[in-house]
Amino acid sequence: MSKEFAERIKKENEPFMEASRRNIEYYFNQDLSKEELTNHFVGRAANEYLNLIGISKCVSQMGPEVPVEEMQMISKQAHDEANHFKWVKEVVKHIAGPDFDLQGQIEAELAKPVDDRGANLIARYGMDKDEVMMAVYQMVAEGRAHVAWQQMADMCAVDETVAHYYANIARDEKSHAQIGERKLSQMDLSPEKEEEIMELIAKLRPELFKIITNNSTLAPGAYEYAAEAYGWGTREEVLGR
């Protein structure tokens, strides 16, 4: 039954994934300045760093009872996040040039008193301390990242160099989402736990959607598409704009 439950989550996530894809397509089809692109990817680099920290905490909190295969998969994910941080930094240097103060800008980005990064949701909902909910995060957040970054690769966003890096990141994000799906599929979940999971996902989707659109642009009709599927309120209620 847990395998069927994981499939249910994937199916119900489809409108959210499509709306996210539309936002990415719309954003990178605009005539963006070098400064706008640089700021965008500095934010992405900061988030990859936070992903690395969040996943590494999960690794550090694993008890000896955790299957070694799972330890290896999550440890590889932490390694992947380190690669993503490296690659997005290289994207920034490619766009902004070698004299750009990359380290200083990333530190300034991380110092901002904001809570608009997907990685922050891991700690907010205690998912780093709950293996079930961490698997859920991987399915929803990493699955969304795969769809978004694959769209960048498919449309050759910015240029071939950036698209190449994001094709590699998209590949990794797909495997991270599959880790979560595999984990949930193997669990013996009670109806009560399944209901708790669906309640969490219902909170995650609009929060992630708001984060996405704050960091890029809201495509015409994308919010309405997702809102109709999930019964969200008005744009002002959910996005604050």
The model's pLDDT over 121-155, given as tens digits with 9 standing for 90+, comes to 777 777 777 888 888 989 999 999 999 999 999 99
The whole-number pLDDT of residue 122 equals 75
pLDDT tens figures, 181-226: 998 888 888 999 999 999 999 999 998 898 888 767 889 999 999 9
- Contact indicator for 70, 34 with CB cutoff of 8 Å: no
Distance of alpha carbon 153 from its chain centroid, rounded?
Answer: 16
Average pLDDT value for the chain: 90
In sign, the C-alpha dihedral spanning 112, 118, 119, 123 is positive
pLDDT band at 115 (very low <50, low <70, confident <90, very high): low
**Structural contact between residues 223 and 18, judged by C-beta atoms closer than 8 angstroms:** no
Mean pLDDT value across residues 96-111? 94
Q: With a cut of 80, say whether residue 98 has pLDDT above it.
A: yes
H/E segment holding residue 210? helix 191-215
Distance CA 208, CA 215 (A): 11
> Residue 1 has what pLDDT?
60
- Calpha distance 37→216 (Å, rounded): 10
* pLDDT at residue 230 is higher than 90: yes
User: pTM (2 decimals)?
Assistant: 0.89
Query: What is the signed CA dihedral for 224, 225, 228, 234, rounded to 10 degrees?
Result: -20
Please state, in angstroms and rounded to a whole number, the distance separating the CA atoms of residues 226 and 74: 30
Across 46-50, 80-84, 112-116, 139-143, which has the greatest mean pLDDT?
Answer: 80-84
Q: Residue 13 above 90 pLDDT?
A: yes
Residue 15: pLDDT above 80?
A: yes
